[in-house]
């Protein structure tokens, strides 16, 4: 059994670094991830473990904020270990890690439904992992963003023994800025005729909740979605959404006409936008460079929808890291369309929706359970 456990810290829960447990049966991957995490001043590795069984046995003693959990491991794999870990620590952030196969994509999306916070697809080989700065950046950013949220929501760490450990610290500048009031825009005078959605971290769970309740919207309008996700994962997500929506959901294809009654999902690694050809709105897919470090990105979809449909567009920005969707939301607002955003309390990460909310672009900032009913009312002509 390969188990490395770091000594515990005596800092306060708010002031201390984000504590990370790495669980992977590859000693090379464990070492590499540990070096990356320890290179960050606000992160620390508290354990590197070989199996899910080790993680379950160590979780209470080590008390991490974030667990990076491999899918394929001996003795107890990631999907089996996940509910055991969450039973011991219900507020635990678990990021599933797996190579990019259909089987692992299925497992990762299932893990989200079982309580995992997010997933990250690993390159196929150790050489590719080592040589991919984009993967390293994504991994560290997910740990940082999700770990920071976990620390804010957790009670003060009872382990802490430093003087003043139980005293709330002043909010950092970013959180103080987030506490500023949000100014809402008036809704356009006419009902929308198309819905465009952007989402990232936490998005699959949010999308499942919404599409299952907007059948009457789909009767009237097409829905186009950009979810930050790699190939294969978007294929599986489309299948999952089709089951809950009870409507056609598919990865969009180049040149296909956009019609009411169908949900179009941006394929992994392709930007999706809309163009008008011969009087019809059709899908355009692109292999251009990443936008906001993402491909697919939300901004191309939103901006192109504003050009094609103008004031008839309703944009929805769901949970996700970063600021993708902000420029596209600005384009929709400038064209006379409307923007809704998911609120902070119900978001896994309030990056993308927070950006558009604080930019004054939204006509509503809503908890997840209120979004679908609001969409139905707006598409049927009600303004409330």
pLDDT, position 148: 87
Verify that 201 and 140 share a domain, yes or no: no
Catalytic site includes residue 240: no
pLDDT, position 16: 83
Number of domains in the chain: 2
> H/E element holding 301?
helix 298-309
Verify that 194 and 122 share a domain, yes or no: no
pLDDT, position 98: 87
Q: Where are the beta strands (DSSP E) in 266-363?
A: 271-277, 280-286, 313-317, 338-342
Write down the H helix ranges in 186-297: 203-211, 215-220, 233-245
pLDDT, position 186: 95
Q: What is the CATH number of the domain that holds 60?
A: 3.40.50.2300
pLDDT, position 249: 97
Catalytic choice (65, 324, 343, 363): 324
pLDDT, position 122: 87
Catalytic site includes residue 228: yes
Catalytic choice (65, 199, 228, 271): 228
Residue 28, domain member (yes or no): yes
> H/E element holding 178?
helix 173-178
Q: What is the CATH number of the domain that holds 332?
A: 3.40.50.180
- Distance between CA atoms of residues 71 and 73, nearest Å: 6
- Distance between CA atoms of residues 39 and 44, nearest Å: 9
Verify that 214 and 281 share a domain, yes or no: yes
* pLDDT in 10s for each residue of the chain, 384 residues: 455 655 444 344 456 899 999 999 999 999 999 999 999 999 999 999 999 999 999 999 999 999 999 999 988 999 999 999 999 999 999 999 988 788 888 999 999 999 999 999 888 777 778 878 989 999 999 999 999 877 766 654 433 333 333 333 344 444 444 557 899 999 999 999 999 999 999 999 999 999 999 999 999 999 999 999 999 999 999 999 999 999 999 999 999 999 999 999 999 999 999 999 999 999 999 999 999 999 999 999 999 999 999 999 999 999 999 999 999 999 999 999 999 999 999 999 999 999 999 999 999 999 999 999 999 999 998 765
pLDDT, position 181: 83
Catalytic site includes residue 347: no
> For residue 132, what are the domain limits?
3-153
Task: Give Cβ neighbours of residue 135 (< 8 Å, ≥ 6 apart).
Answer: 120, 122, 123, 129
> What's the gap between Cα 186 and its chain centre?
28
């Amino acid at each position: 059994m390969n188990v490395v456990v770091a000594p515990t810290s005596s800092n306060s829960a708010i002031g201390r670094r984000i504590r990370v447990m790495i669980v992977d049966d590859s000693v090379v991957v464990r070492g590499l991830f540990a070096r990356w995490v320890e290179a960050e001043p606000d992160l620390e590795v508290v354990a590197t473990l070989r199996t899910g069984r080790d993680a379950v046995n160590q979780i209470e003693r080590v008390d991490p904020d974030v667990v990076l959990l491999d899918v394929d491991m001996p003795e107890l794999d990631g999907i089996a270990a996940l509910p055991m870990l969450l039973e011991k620590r219900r507020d635990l952030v678990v990021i599933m890690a797996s190579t990019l196969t259909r089987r692992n994509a299925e497992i990762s999306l299932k893990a989200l439904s079982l309580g995992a916070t997010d997933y990250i697809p690993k390159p196929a080989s150790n050489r590719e992992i080592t040589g991919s700065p984009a993967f390293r950046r994504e991994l560290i950013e997910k740990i940082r963003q999700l770990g920071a949220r976990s620390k804010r929501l957790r009670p003060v760490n009872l382990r802490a023994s430093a003087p003043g450990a139980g005293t709330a610290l002043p909010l950092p500048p970013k959180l103080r800025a987030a506490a500023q009031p949000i100014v809402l825009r008036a809704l356009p005078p006419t009902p929308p005729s198309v819905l465009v959605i952007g989402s990232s971290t936490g998005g699959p769970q949010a999308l499942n909740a919404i599409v299952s309740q907007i059948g009457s919207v789909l009767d009237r309008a097409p829905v186009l979605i950009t979810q930050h996700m790699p190939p294969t994962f978007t294929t599986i997500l489309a299948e999952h959404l089709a089951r809950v929506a009870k409507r056609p959901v598919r990865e969009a294809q180049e040149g296909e006409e956009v019609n009411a009654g169908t949900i179009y999902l941006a394929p992994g690694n392709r930007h999706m936008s809309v163009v008008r050809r011969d009087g019809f709105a059709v899908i355009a897919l692109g292999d251009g460079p990443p936008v906001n470090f993402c491909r697919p990105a939300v901004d191309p979809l939103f901006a192109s929808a504003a050009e094609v449909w103008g004031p008839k567009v309703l944009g929805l920005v769901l949970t996700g890291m970063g600021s993708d969707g902000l420029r596209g939301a600005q384009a929709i607002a400038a064209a006379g369309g409307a923007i809704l955003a998911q609120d902070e309390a119900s978001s896994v990460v309030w990056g993308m929706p927070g950006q558009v909310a604080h930019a004054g672009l939204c006509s509503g900032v809503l908890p997840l359970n209120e979004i679908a009913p609001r969409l139905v009312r707006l598409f049927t002509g009600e303004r409330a």
